[in-house]
Amino acid sequence: MSSFEPRWYRKELHRSSLAPFAVRFRETDLWVAVPPRQNTPALRQCCEEAATALWEELHAYILKDPVFLHSLTPHTPHFGAPPVALKMAAAAAKADVGPMAAVAGAFAEEVAQQLMQKFKVQDIIVENGGDIYLAATQPRRIAIWAGSSPLSGKLALEIEPAQSPLSLCTSSATVGPSLSLGQADAVTILAKNGAVADAYATAVGNQVRSAADIEPALAYADAQEDILGCVIVIGDRIGAIGQVRLSPL
């Protein structure tokens, strides 16, 4: 089992008026921010229970279907698989990657939606290892962290309320434990569906091995109907398509 990596960026880059808290259970490490008046013990308990239930359901399923955990290509779940596994598998099939490529985005979305439904939360950010699901009633700025790239921490995605709820998922070959077959410092995908955004972040990231790959990788992303926007950072080069508005951080 992997240990938690320091999430220094959560404190360093958080500038909103929302009130944050963390939820950790096994490999799940969530950072959740909601309006201060809604950051209640009941909401935090609900968040913990939702994250725990998702992990336990998926873990129990993987014990029965270990291929689901290890496959780097799409995998059809067995009968009786939990809803989160079905969402992950469906997203992975679209992006032509393994289902676990969609796990962080799927968890972030599911937890956020449960809190939005049960507590009528209209402003929320759920971040899971760099993968984000958010709803907003005011503009938000999401920083792009790209490891050792000179562009890392220098740019932010401008998100308007009309774009939300929205998933922003990032794959990196140089940051974090997630597997990437490419060399990109950051590939961020914007999509309505968390599992889909996460799966496509991996798929696009796998295609970027040098700056020369930015243009064809963006063309691939632009051709996918589920992708609303894409940002690619490798070294000192950056490219973007779709509903992407960048500003200095």
* Segments making up each domain of the chain, as ranges: 8-248
Residue 3 has pLDDT above 50, yes or no: no
C-alpha angle 78-3-38 in degrees, rounded to nearest 5: 80
pLDDT confidence band for 8 (50 / 70 / 90): very low
Residue 178 has pLDDT above 70, yes or no: no
Mean pLDDT of 17-38: 93
Fold of 8-248: T-fold (3.10.520)
Q: Measure Cα distances from 63 to 56, 91, 234 in Å.
A: 11, 21, 37
Number of Cβ within a 10 Å radius of residue 45: 11
Residue 6 has pLDDT above 80, yes or no: no
Q: What is the pTM of this model?
A: 0.92
pLDDT in tens, 87-134: 999 999 999 999 999 999 999 999 999 999 999 999 999 999 889 999
Nearest to 13 by CA among 228, 215, 235, 249: 249
Task: Could you list the beta-strand ranges (E) of 96-214.
Answer: 124-128, 131-135, 140-143, 155-159, 166-171, 186-191
C-alpha angle 204-51-95 in degrees, rounded to nearest 5: 20
pLDDT in tens, 179-237: 677 899 999 999 999 999 999 999 999 999 999 999 999 999 999 999 999 999 999 99
C-alpha angle 174-96-180 in degrees, rounded to nearest 5: 10
Output the six-digit token pair for 213.
């790959």
Residue 5 has pLDDT above 70, yes or no: no
pLDDT confidence band for 1 (50 / 70 / 90): very low
Calculate the average pLDDT of the chain.
92
d(CA 213, CA 209): 6
pLDDT confidence band for 14 (50 / 70 / 90): low
Nearest to 141 by CA among 152, 157, 130: 157
Residue 86 has pLDDT above 50, yes or no: yes
- Which DSSP helix (H) or strand (E) runs through 194? helix 194-207
Nearest to 211 by CA among 182, 170, 189: 182
Instruction: Say what the pLDDT of residue 175 is.
Output: 75
Output the six-digit token pair for 160.
């308007």
